[in-house]
Structure 1
Amino acid sequence: MVEIREISADELKEKLENGEKLELVDVRENEEVEEGMIPEAKHIRMGEIPDQLDYFNKDKEYIMICRSGRRSENVCAYLQDQGYQVRNMTGGMLEYKGKTKPKSE
């Protein structure tokens, strides 16, 4: 198993509060993001990732987010296999204490 780089929910919150520009991708289902997602995140459902590869740039690092960190870890493994730089937010939105907003279409 390839090692997946990680970032904790607290570390991510701190980076955002410090104004860092990060590439965040929320891979949860539509119903889940309606309850709130990190405002800076782009929503691409886990099942849609293979069809959305042209969104990703191999020169950037993407932080993957889901509810608990399990699905985003799977997405990280897949994208890493495709040659992308990714990091998994451990603990997912269950542990994220920063600002969130409901997803607006």
Structure 2
Amino acid sequence: MPQQVPSVNVPDLPESLPDGVTLLDVREHDEWTAGHAPEAIHIPMGDLAGRLDDLPADNEVYVVCRSGGRSARVTAYLNANGWDAKNVDGGMQSWQAAGRPMAADNGQPTVI
């Protein structure tokens, strides 16, 4: 049976993240470039272990990927290593579908 991780649905997230809350996007660079949440910190899943110092240790962390699979694994990893992390169910696909703000490095933001 897969490990259950704490999670949150996009509509349950505050429109603007309060102090002490970090949104961590763990998708690959091309996914990030195509479209991401403006307030997010980008650390691809494969780089996370070497970049834990880039993540505020005392913040609550919401972890997002494209659909929720990678972010669930990262959430479990972070929680096992002392963070207070929650998976964003449905990922950036749900974020975009909910009409949440998005930014892109070039052109119209989208989720790939």
Which bracket does the TM-score occupy, shorter chain normalised? 0.7 to 0.9
Matches within 5 A, 1:61-80: 61-80=60-79
The answer on whether the counterparts of 1:25 and 1:63 sit within 8 Å (CA) in structure 2 is yes
Cα offset, 1:53, TM superposition: 1.2
Cα offset, 1:93, TM superposition: 0.6
Aligned to 1:42: 41
Unaligned 5+ runs, structure 2: 107-112
1:9-49 CA distance string (max 9 Å, x none): 1122xx024x6343101000011111110000011000011
Code of the aligned partner of 2:101:
K
Relative to its length, the structure with more helix (as a share) is 1
Aligned to 1:100: 102
Structure 1 position 5 matched with structure 2 position 3: no
Aligned to 2:84: 85
- For 2:57 and 2:30, the matched residues in 1 are separated by 29
TM-score scaled by length of structure 1: 0.85
The answer on whether the counterparts of 1:63 and 1:88 sit within 8 Å (CA) in structure 2 is yes
- For 1:94 and 1:36, the matched residues in 2 are separated by 10
Helix, strand or coil for the counterpart of 1:16? coil
Aligned to 1:27: 26
TM-score scaled by length of structure 2: 0.81
Helix, strand or coil for the counterpart of 2:85? strand
1:45-74 CA distance string (max 9 Å, x none): 000110011123332111000000110000
- For 1:3 and 1:33, the matched residues in 2 are separated by 26
Instruction: Figure out how many residues of one structure are paired with residues of the other and give that number.
Output: 101
